[in-house]
């Protein structure tokens, strides 16, 4: 990226809200993970997976719905004489998990992932897909000691660092074609949502 600019920025209308409500993730060792992304005007225009992007080879990303107003995603700009990097930190809160999902979260904690974060405007953002993201900590909430109505669940934090900010994958990543512009998506968002109370 060059060190010049071609346009400025005006004050935008107040039509974007903050917060996140969902993540989608695929294993960092899955042969169908993302290999490359072409970005045009700040938005993903095409992407390739490590296998071909045919319908049978498109990567399946699993969705996790998040507790409202509890989870957060932030990017910190890190500068030095050698360059610029973006520290990406994600914290998710999933309460009301049941026995069938405890094993799932144990797998998430021990794995490495490519993660997309959906904000409350419906836009998905891809965290660094090259070095990927790992769980760096969290808690297993047992608030039931206080009152029977208190929730239980998981709070997990993930960290990644890349040379560019999280990539805008649009409101429908499944519509992003591969670089050969085939009509088949490179990404499939699983219709079976996990982590839902």
Parts of the chain with a pLDDT under 50: 53, 183-184, 192, 194-197
Name the pTM for this structure: 0.85
Domain boundaries, the chain: 20-30+38-189
Tokens encoding 174? 């499944």
Strand pairing report for 187-189 and 59-65: parallel
What does the pLDDT read at residue 196? 47
């Amino acid at each position: 990226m060059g060190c010049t600019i071609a346009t400025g920025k005006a004050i935008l209308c107040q039509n974007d809200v903050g917060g996140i409500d969902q993540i989608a993730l695929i294993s960092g060792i899955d042969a169908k993970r993302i290999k490359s992304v072409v970005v045009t005007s700040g938005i993903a225009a095409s992407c390739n997976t490590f296998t071909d992007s045919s319908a049978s080879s498109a990567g399946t990303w699993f969705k996790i719905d998040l507790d409202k107003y509890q989870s957060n995603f932030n990017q910190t700009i890190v500068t030095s004489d050698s360059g610029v990097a973006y520290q990406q930190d994600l914290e998710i809160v999933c309460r009301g998990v049941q026995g069938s999902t405890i094993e799932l979260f144990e797998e998430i904690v021990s794995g490495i992932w490519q993660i997309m974060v959906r904000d409350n405007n419906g836009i998905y953002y891809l965290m660094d897909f090259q070095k990927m993201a790992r769980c760096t900590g969290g808690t297993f909430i047992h608030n039931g000691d206080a009152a029977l109505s208190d929730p239980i669940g998981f709070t997990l934090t993930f960290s990644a660092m890349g040379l560019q900010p999280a990539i805008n994958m649009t409101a429908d990543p499944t519509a992003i074609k591969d670089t050969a512009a085939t009509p088949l998506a490179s990404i499939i968002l699983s219709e079976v949502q996990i982590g839902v109370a």
